[in-house]
Amino acid sequence: MAKMLNIREVREILGLSYGEVIRLVREDKLPAYKYVGGPVDRANLELDTKGLRFKDTDIHEMLQESLIS
């Protein structure tokens, strides 16, 4: 089972700002989940990030895809 991370943890792992993480979610480049308040509303993410979570496996997969071989 994947560990669920909050936005602060994702920012630390990826080395991105809050706005950059939100942009990736909005552009559907980073899967996000909500455990409070229903589905992720990509259009209004800046206003509603409460309960926003990310699977650690998605984050690590994104890092692997960005590696230059």
pLDDT digits (tens, 9 = 90+) for 14-30: 999 999 999 999 898 89
Phi-psi sector, 47: left (phi>0), alpha (psi -120 to 50), beta: alpha
* Confidence at residue 48, expressed as pLDDT on a 0 to 100 scale: 66
Sign of the dihedral defined by the CA atoms of residues 54, 13, 8, 46, in that order: negative
Which domain covers residue 45, as residue numbers?
4-66
- Each residue's pLDDT tens digit, 30-66: 999 887 766 677 777 666 677 889 999 999 998 888 7
Predicted TM-score (pTM) of the model is 0.79
Q: Residue 54 burial (CB < 10 Å; 0-12/13-18/19+)?
A: buried
Rounded to whole angstroms, how far apart are CA atoms 54 and 69?
26
* Confidence at residue 6, expressed as pLDDT on a 0 to 100 scale: 93
